[in-house]
Structure 1
């Protein structure tokens, strides 16, 4: 028997709020990256966006949701190396997706970026699940695994479209909400695909309890959010100006 809300259903709402916050801040950084013509500055914004979306919006959400995972009467342990690997993969894959998205709205780029970003959610989730050890064996329902992939890719593509198609605060909030649904929805569908067969005769699982590295995880997550927030607040911006500025007629100039 598996319990996904051992600490209460409130973890679901906390996980979603975390995902929404990380995604919204990261998408704001993505918009800033598309406003600059300096490649170095653009890369810096994309790194901040990847930390926020991949590190907080995707991975920390997964970590928070896993606080509610338990097998009643049997211990659950985590392999730290694989858990950290899932975080690195999430950030790196989101960075790759944002690079593909580019600086201008191009449908085929959006499709590939949505696929890469959605698969980043999937990659993080199942790598994180690989890090879990239980007193028994685990298996997955193939149909629900495929459904989790579809949810992640479609919702990630929709979120990126919202972020780049219309450059307004309201659409970025909508994009963050959609990406939050992608991450949390995929997580719980993926968890529903998991079956655990406990074996009292099996050896105790190797690894550490999740609460043993809870503090450093939240410290790193706070830094991953603080850096892009400070960068956004300390740079000038104009939320009403379009990202893709149409060309002006040759006879007119405009002072910047």
Structure 2
């Protein structure tokens, strides 16, 4: 018996909130990636790790907020907690691999393609592992072509978002990249859900047990708290918030700061010779 699936039990509320969660995680994570391209080597891994955790938490939160609106009318839904949290860990790790590639190799060419592909596969893997943690009196089946389309959407949009983050063009540019990342996650999620059919093991009357929202909210508290903390970190770093259109990613060398301190005599940029002479150095003919 095929179950009656409803992915929008709360109307447009869950899709909109889910998209905002994906955009929030994307904005924080991609901004951290942008910041990592502007700092010296010792600080770069910390920014990239924070970015990976923010994006991973954002896409995981997006998925399960959207799942609050998913019901099968003939069968109650429960979630296996170990599998559910394993999907969060998988998202953070795979997104982290993609972000570290872009953070160290640059957002172009082979590095961008590889990082975007791994990040997109991380988004898709999180989704389908999270779905594997769903428990109900039935079997989940997927249309192979639609699943493939959902994975392609994730990889293409994630690559575009990482490219935009690597342009280092200020805050508004990163906001646009986060909107693309949110689109990647949401588009992948609902395309993947469109591939799903539920075959029930037997007939059962609708039950009045706990709703998906009641089951999922306790699990979302931790990732939501982390996103708020990450947002505070971003807000208290002026370079992260204001941006600078003149910034360019630096070519790091051992012992050389990403951005020299112009107030330190040893790190002041040298002026052209003709400017030095013009500012008061006397030639033998003037003495």
Scaled by the length of structure 2, the TM-score of the pair is: 0.79
Structure 1 residue 160 displacement after superposition? 0.6
**For residues 232 and 183 of structure 1, what CA distance do their matches in structure 2 show?**
22
SS at match of 1:35: coil
Would the aligned equivalents of 1:11 and 1:65 in 2 still touch at CA under 8 Å? Answer: yes
Query: For residue 13 of structure 2, what is the aligned residue in structure 1?
Result: 10
Cα deviation digits, residues 201-233 of structure 1 (max 9, x gap): 58xxxxx86445534333212322123222223
Contact 2:116 2:159 in 1 (8 A): yes
Structure-to-structure mapping, 1:36-75, within 5 angstroms: 36-39=39-42, 41-56=43-58, 58-75=59-76
Indicate the residue corresponding to 2:275 in structure 1: none
Which residue does the alignment assign to 1:205?
A: none
CA contact (8 A) 1:53 1:94 kept: yes
Q: CA–CA distance in 2 between the matches of 1:8 and 1:199?
A: 28
1:92 matched residue in structure 2: 93
> Does structure 2 retain, via aligned residues, the 8 Å contact 1:25–1:49?
yes
Q: Within 1, Cα distance between the matches of 2:231 and 2:195?
A: 36
Query: What are structure 1's unaligned runs of at least 5 residues?
Result: 203-207
Q: Which residue of 2 aligns with 1:113?
A: 115
Mind listing any 5+ residue stretches in structure 2 that lack a counterpart?
205-209, 253-266, 271-287
CA–CA separation in structure 1 for the residues paired with 2:19 and 2:238:
30
Q: Are the structure 2 counterparts of residues 105 and 72 from structure 1 closer, same or farther at C-alpha, using a change threshold of 3 Å?
A: closer
Closer, same or farther in 2 for the Cα pair 1:105/1:195, shift >3 Å? closer
Residues of 1 paired with 2:189 and 2:44: CA distance?
Answer: 31
**Contact 2:70/2:212 (<8 A) preserved:** no
Residue by residue, what CA displacement relative to the aligned partner does 1:34-57 show, whole Å, maximum 9, x if unpaired? 111133x2121112111211111x
Task: String of CA shifts for 1:171-229, please: whole Å, max 9, x gaps.
Answer: 21111011101000000000010111123258xxxxx8644553433321232212322
The corresponding residue for 2:191 is 189
Residue number in structure 2 paired with 1:152: 154
Deviation at 1:166, TM superposition (A): 4.1
1:80 corresponds to 2:59: no
Matched, 1:242 2:276: no
1:102/1:109 contact within 8 Å kept: no
Q: How many Å apart are 1:132 and its aligned residue?
A: 0.9
Aligned to 1:29, which of 28, 32, 40?
A: 32
Q: Are the equivalent residues in 1 in contact too, given 2:150–2:189 (CA < 8 A)?
A: yes
Counterparts of 1:86 and 1:111, CA distance in 2: 23
Q: What is the alpha-carbon root mean square deviation over aligned residues?
A: 2.3
Q: Distance in 2 between matches of 1:244 and 1:33?
A: 9
Report the TM-score when normalising by structure 1.
0.88
Counterparts of 1:37 and 1:148, CA distance in 2: 37
Q: Which of 212-221 and 17-26 deviates more?
A: 212-221
Q: 1:96 to 1:182 in 2, by over 3 A?
A: same
